[in-house]
Amino acid sequence: MLKKILIANRGEIAVRIIRACRELGIPSVAVYSDADRFALHVKKADEAYGLGSDPLAGYLNPHQLVNIAVAAGCDGIHPGYGFLSESAEFASVCESRGVTFIGPTAEVISRMGDKTEARSSMIAAGIPVTPGSEGNLIDVEDAVQQADAIGYPIMLKATSGGGGRGIRRCDSERELRDNYQRVISEATKAFGRAEVFLERCIVNPRHIEVQILGDQMGNVIHLYERDCSIQRRNQKLIELAPSPQLNDEQRNLIGELAVRAAKAVDYTNAGTVEFLLDDKDDFYFMEMNTRVQVEHTITEEITGVDIVRKQIEIASGLPLGLQQSDIRINGFAAQFRINAEDPQNNFLPSFGTISRYYAAGGPGTRTDTAIYSGYTLPPYYDSMCAKLIVWAADWESLLSRSERVLNDIRLFGIRTTIPYYLNILQHPDFRTTNFNTGFIAANPQLAEYSLKKTPSQVATVIAAALAAQQSW
């Protein structure tokens, strides 16, 4: 087992990893920029080291992070998600310094991070992929010629893209020409590479992803699927596990495809294979995320498998200790990304000081966060300030419990997406599981709501205001 782990990340995922380390009896080491000096992950780790004044540079410097790990006596590094979590260079630097990277090998990260190479690998493994360009595009004229052959609408994508960045839908040649340089520029700035490719746009698909785990002995299993169709501009908002839109035959098929995909590239550790499901109920491989996902929480809730713990154990050389027959689905779970955004103002970020925070509680409730009363959300990072996870035995119970839990959490000082999610829960298409990735765009009225408070909410506001006058 690894002896000491540096967490090359911040916020709630760093706190989540620290908790897993503590349960395993492994000391944890945090890193932080000056903007994160008072962050919760810094307070919870056994040790913490500064990265400097720049809010981003330290988190994105593989050599600095590995130097700190070696100096602190760490034999493992967990990258979390975002930042350098899918950096083959980071994994290589760890390997060269004798530090275990808690994730797949640098070769696999590079192979699956290159979307055109990933497509080729999946085609060779017999995994269905959406029709698209063969390799990277040469220039805009090449793009136009291949788009004509594929048929509009098409998706113009950065080869190294991810997280909803470096991607544009084009419905015509004019839009393709207009977007070509924009995607090139965005890809270069975000990923350091200018390569792009084309795929046919599957209009309003369902976005289904499968969680997989693989050990160093070649054992691979899946932990069933998550439905991530509720998203805005390719950014996920609500995730569900299992998908309430799949039947058992579809569920078994997509699980088998995900395991086959992982075995085809000799995948180790935790990963996610993402698929699109079209209106004819055909699955198409989209991409593979070579890291822990933001939404890993709901898979943990329905399977009872601690994914972050498994990551550490696998990286330590331990066998998976699970067979596919051991994995059973228990109930339904939903994750609501509580973002510091104002849905009534085009989702404008709402960074600032959280004057008071009261966590949700009760049966089937879990909150993964790094905020606390008095904490100031820095404007340099993602707007997600908490993940609210709800479990229930069946779909109808999940809906009612989710509404209760969203009304239970209290955040003062910033605007959040909580009222927006309450509106989604009331929409008949969501309640009857009749939704796809076009749901948010098709329902702009969901951002219309009153912020009028109930008597209990008013009492909470008054209590928070009185408490604010006291010295803490």
**Does pTM surpass 0.85?**
yes
Q: How far apart are CA 195 and CA 135, in angstroms?
A: 9
Which helix (H) or strand (E) element contains residue 275? strand 269-277
Residue 415, φ and ψ in degrees, nearest 5: -90, 145
What long-range pairs does 130-138 form, CB within 8 A, spacing at least 24?
Answer: 130/199, 130/200, 130/202, 130/276, 130/284, 130/285, 130/286, 131/199, 131/200, 132/197, 132/198, 132/199, 132/200, 133/197, 133/198, 133/199, 135/197, 136/195, 136/196, 136/197, 137/195, 137/196, 137/197, 137/198
In this predicted structure, what is the pLDDT of residue 186? 86
Q: Which residues contact 20 (CB under 8 A, 6 or more apart)?
A: 306, 308, 309, 312
Topology classification of domain 131-200: Dna Ligase; domain 1 (3.30.1490)
Q: How far apart are CA 2 and CA 370, in angstroms?
A: 25
In this predicted structure, what is the pLDDT of residue 192? 77
In this predicted structure, what is the pLDDT of residue 115? 85
242 preceded by a cis bond (ω within 30 of 0): yes
Ranges in the chain annotated CATH 3.30.470.20: 206-456
The β-bridge partners of 410 are 358
- Using DSSP's 3-state secondary structure scheme, residue 384 falls into strand
Ranges in the chain annotated CATH 3.40.50.20: 5-102
In this predicted structure, what is the pLDDT of residue 468? 46
CATH, domain range 5-102: 3.40.50.20
How far CA 231 is from CA of 115, 129, 280, 344, in Å, comes to 21, 22, 21, 17
Ranges in the chain annotated CATH 3.30.1490.20: 131-200
Report CA Rg, the chain: 22
| Cα-to-chain-centroid distance, residue 178 | 29
How far CA 117 is from CA of 112, 236, 253, 387, 400, in Å, comes to 7, 25, 23, 33, 44
Pick the CATH number of 206-456 from 3.40.710.10, 3.40.640.10, 3.30.470.20, 1.10.10.10: 3.30.470.20
Q: How far apart are CA 112 and CA 110, in angstroms?
A: 6
Within 340-438, strands assigned E span 341-342, 348-349, 356-358, 365-369, 384-392, 410-412
Q: pLDDT tens track of the chain, all 472 residues?
A: 999 999 999 999 999 999 999 999 999 999 999 999 999 999 999 999 999 999 999 999 999 999 999 999 999 999 999 999 999 999 999 999 999 999 999 999 999 988 889 999 999 999 999 989 888 899 999 999 999 999 999 999 988 766 667 889 999 999 999 999 999 988 888 777 788 999 999 999 999 999 999 999 999 999 999 999 999 998 999 999 999 999 999 999 999 999 999 999 999 999 999 999 999 999 999 999 999 999 999 999 999 999 999 999 999 999 999 999 999 999 999 999 999 999 999 999 999 999 999 999 999 999 999 999 999 999 999 999 999 999 999 999 999 999 999 999 999 999 999 999 999 999 999 999 999 999 999 999 999 998 765 454 555 555 545 544 443 3
Which helix (H) or strand (E) element contains residue 41? helix 40-44
- Determine which one of 291, 337, 356, 415 is catalytic: 291
The β-bridge partners of 388 are 336, 367
Q: What angle do CA 149, 165, 115 make, to 5 degrees?
A: 55
How many CB atoms lie under 10 A from the CB of residue 92?
A: 17
In this predicted structure, what is the pLDDT of residue 116? 86
Q: Are 148 and 195 in contact (CB under 8 A)?
A: no
How far CA 213 is from CA of 109, 312, 457, in Å, comes to 15, 12, 43
The secondary structure of 123-159 as a DSSP string is: HHTT--B--B-SS---SHHHHHHHHHHH-SSEEEEEE
Residue 291 annotated among the catalytic residues of the structure:
yes
Which helix (H) or strand (E) element contains residue 211? strand 206-214
